Structure formats: structure tokens, C-alpha cells
Chains A and B, each alone.
Chain A
Amino acid sequence: MPDRPFHHTLAVREDLCQGCTHCMKRCPTEAIRITGGKAHVNPERCVDCGQCMDVCPHDAIVIEQNDFQQIFGYRHRVAIVPSLMIGQFEDEVAEMDMIGAFHSIGFTHVHYAEFGVDILKTLGNKISVYADAHPVVSSYCPAVVRLIQLRYPTLLPNVNLMRTPAQITALYARASLEAHGCAPEDIGIFYITPCAAKYAQIKTPGSATSGLIQGGLNLDHVFNLLQRDLAKNSDRTRKGTPTWESPAITGPAFLWSLTKGESSMMQGRTLSVDEVHNVIEFLELVEDERHENLDFLELRACDTGCTGGILTPRNRFLATERIKHHAATLPKELPDRTRIAILELSDKLIHNLKVERISAKYSLQLDEDISTAIRKMERVKRITEVLPGIDCGLCGSPTCRALAEDIARGNASIRRCMVMKMKDPTGLNHLAKIWGEAIPKESHPAPVPDFTPEA
């Protein structure tokens, strides 16, 4: 996959942002700086994990909204629904009520995203993976894939290049409708996304999902539409309005998006890690190549897996429990007619299961040129020595070390250090003269990346 800029779906609302540093401190890639009293996100570093949105006490970080009405631009409107959707409802809402509501709000076809797992298994009799190196790292979580592109490029050959279940389901849904004579341009496939990263992936031009999926719809918005519909039509089942067929899926596939859901279906020795800071801690170890006994690594940016996604309204533990409870009622194998339907389309599916290789992103380095980077690193070392080392964040950088790097890159002045300003203002003046004022760049809204990524 050639290097393409990430599309980001998270944005800071300046009218609400208080410049309080919570997001900056939580960000796992140090992508956020506070300048002019407002948070600014460096697009070259952000992996769309959503931690900032989760921690913001002022709801100042928002996710791009998408127009639900866009689905009506298509005659056949397919919803790809993550199985965790059922977990967002209390037990009173039965699966059929939820599926009925999806049709009622405008969809003509509903598939569970994780049905793709069953499709893959039906096509190959096992869950195949495809990677150039061992252990294989799951590509399911797009925030983790972006994290690897940014911070662990040595591990890119380990990333599974098999399409994700939602993408495989989308392939199947399209192939199946076309086989029934539907015109390709009349088919609109929409993924209901529980997080910023999956939405961002859909919106990134040329990504694995573009073309395959016509749009992403934020899960919280769709949840509200469903709730409203359920409240309005609470007597739908009694009135005998058409009942819908339950979308095909097996119990094990239904659990895929939860922690251990994917790894439990993989061959060999597997391991699962959730929450982005845990993932980073673990990737550091994997990068050192001292874990050759492991075969498959399931890594998820959100706690408890996708039920921890920032767009999921319900408590992640309760949601997880309901999903497991529902999965226990599902069959272990697909019904024969579904298997036959998949196998009839196997020619259309089987050659389209892999995505292109993923390329590295370079934006954490101090400079592209090693000599310049070394010079900047020497400065970082010297500047760090004089900074107070308490990581208070008042300067607008997450740590003293990060401020030192910002100064060395020419993006900030040491004058930002409030502790030094109070303790030794004369000394600070002197140091600012040595290390630069960086005033032009400080008034710039976002830190400018040091160099453009390689083509």
C-alpha cells in the first residue's frame, strides 16, 4: 500500500476546549499540544484511538458526523452491523426487535460484520492468515495498525493482510446482491462504526475499505435512531408486521470483536492484549524479537475490545456480558443453505481476500537526516537536563522531554516552561536566547511535521 495521509475523524471544538491537558497527557503517541489555550492534534501522529475523546471532561473532542440520509441514495441499502450492537441494548430488546428497527429506519439488508469470520471459515475450512513474518499480528483494529505504521515499522511484515470480517461481509453482501441481478451502482453498503479508527479507515482514500463500503455511520447516532424507532413501534411484534430473518452468524464468530474473541479461533499459541497503552508496552517486547514461541497476537486499542469503542453508548462490561449471553444461543456451524450460498460466490470472494502490504509512516523521528537528527538529539539531552522534570504539562507539551523535543525541532521556546519562569526568569531569558524563541511557529495552530513522508 503506497503511503497515504491518514484521514482523521476526530476534531477539537475550540469553543468548548479549556486547554486543560487531560487529552494531551493520555494521548499514546504524544500527538497533542496545547497552544493558545486550546488543544491541537498533529495529524501525522494521531492514530484515531479515541483516548482523547474518552478522557475530555468538556466534550470538546468530537467525531466527524456523517449524514444518515446518504443511505437513501441507493436502492439496496445494506447495514454491516458489528455484533456488539446487541450489547448496547438491555435484555428487553430482543435481537429481532433490533433487526426490525434496522429495517424500519431504512435498511433493506442487515448483516453482522463478524459473519465475515464464518465466510472465511466456509471458504477455507479454517481461519487463514497471511503475513510475511512470525508471529502474526492481527489487523482487525485499525488504530493498532496505524500505531505499528508509526512506531513499530519493523513489525509491518507481521501484520495479517487478510481482510477484516466486516470487509469480507461487505464483499459477500455485494456479490450476493449482484448475483440476484441488482445493479452495482444501486448497492450502498454502510458500516455501523463503534470507534473513530474504523470510521477513519473507511474515509481514507485508497484504503482497504474504499469502494467496498460506501460509508460509515457512527454507532451512537444509529443507536439513537433505533431507540426512537423501538419506542415508537414497541407493539410491532404483536401487530404482526413483517418479521425479519435473523442474520446468519455462528456463536464463535459473534464473539470476534471482544478481547480473546479473535485469538481463540486462531491456531497455535496466541495472546490477546487490549487498551492502547498496554498494546504499546507489548509491542515494544515483540519488536525485540524475543517471543518466537508465539504464533498469533490479537491487539486492540480499546479496553475489553470493540465494546470499549468511543461510540458505544453502554457500559463496556455490561455490553460484553450481553454479547456473550447472546452468542451462547447461536449455532456452532452455519446452516447448510448459507454455506451453499457462500460457496456459490466463492470465485468472486476468494481472489479478493487479501489487502495490499502496509507501508511505514515517518513522523516520530527528530529528522530525516541522521546527522541533523543526532544534533537535535544532543540538544534534547541538554535541554532536558535544565527542565524541572515534573511533567506538569503547563507548557503545553505532555512531558518535559516532549517540550525539549519540541524546542529542538524549532516548534517551541523554552519560555513556555512555567516552573522556570517562576523560579529563575533571568536564567530563562538567557536560555531562550540560546535555544531559540520559535515565535513564528508557536503562533502556528498545529505543529508542522519535520519532513514529508516518503512516497
Chain B
Amino acid sequence: MHVSYEVRAGDFSIAGKVSSTVKGILKQLNLTPAHVKRIIVALYEAEVNVVAHSFGGKIDCDIDSEQVVITVSDTGPGIADLELAMTEGWSTATAEVREMGFGAGMGLSNIRKNTDILKIDTGKGKPTIISMTFRLAEGAEHA
């Protein structure tokens, strides 16, 4: 099953709205609370990243009984040094963004902790595409 949502850049008042909608869907599909939790933590971080750092983008969710794949893609400006961006506490968020309670530099590392497969395609001046795979099978790392 496929669902897709637009995410507007800079609109912090609705950051988290897509995560909440997806949470409702996952709960109705009877995913275990533990799966719902980690998927939503990762998705929320990725959603806030689009709002805080990008020119805007979209979130695509593909759900089947084996796995949930969420692709978060924006239209730029890209992450220049991905390795640095993955470091806990490192952030390029502006003072304004930090004042609103975002930009603590935990985003990407929180995403990595909660996903089974994480693929990030980015670069300076390029769009960023984050693909997160969550396996639902019993005995999976996070199950």
C-alpha cells in the first residue's frame, strides 16, 4: 500500500503532521507498538529535516506485511558533508530554528538508530533522498 504527502519548507507549525497521520495508519494496520514507535521517531526526524533545512519535499510510504519503506525526498540544497551530519550534536540549524526547539543535531543519528536499512543520497547543491526500511518480521533487529 502506498501513501504520499507533501512537506513544506519552513512551516514549523505543522512539522510532525505527516508523522502523526502515518502513525494512525500503522496503528490501524496492527503493527506492534514497538515498530510503530521506531518508525515514527525516524519519520518525525526526517520530516523535521525537510522543514528545517530544505526547499521542501515529499514523503512516500510503501507498506506491506514484510516491511515499511519510507522515502523522504527534498529539492535541495543537499548535505555537503554527510559523515559530519551523521555525528550526534552536529547541526547546521540557524539560531532561529534552534529557538523553536529544533536543530539539536540528533536527527540523522536518531534515524540511523531506528532503521534496518538506511540509504542517503545527497551532496552539495543536490536534492537529498533518504530511504528508510523497517523490517517487520519477528526476530528482526528492532522487533
Contacts and interface: CB of A to CB of B under 8 A. Distances in A.
B20 A288 contact: yes
A367 B63 CA distance: 15
Q: Determine the interface band of chain B, counting residues with CB < 8 A from chain A.
A: 20 to 34
Interface of A: 151, 153-154, 284, 287-290, 360, 362, 364-371, 373-374, 377-378, 381
Contacts of A365: 27-30
A320 to B, nearest CB: 33
A288 B44 contact: yes
Contact of B41 (A289, A360, A369): A289
Given A288-B23, A373-B28, A378-B1, 11 more contacts: A153-B33, A154-B37, A287-B23, A288-B44, A364-B28, A370-B29, A371-B64, A374-B1, A374-B63, A374-B64, A377-B29
A365 B30 CA distance: 6
Contact of A288 (B16, B27, B33, B65): B16
A373 B1 CA distance: 10
A409 B63 CA distance: 19
A262 to B, nearest CB: 26
B23 A367 contact: no
B65 A374 contact: yes
Nearest to A362: B30
B91 to A, nearest CB: 17
A371 B23 CA distance: 17
A66 to B, nearest CB: 36
Given A154-B37, A374-B1, A366 B29 contact: yes
Interface in B20-48: 20, 23, 25, 27-31, 33, 36-37, 40-41, 44
B136 interface: yes
Contacts of B19: 288
A153 B16 CA distance: 20
B30 A366 contact: yes
Which of A365, A369, A373 counts the most B-chain CB atoms under 10 A from its CB? A373
Given A288-B16, A289-B41, A374-B64, A154 B25 contact: no
A273 B56 CA distance: 35
Contacts of A290: 44
A332 B27 CA distance: 46
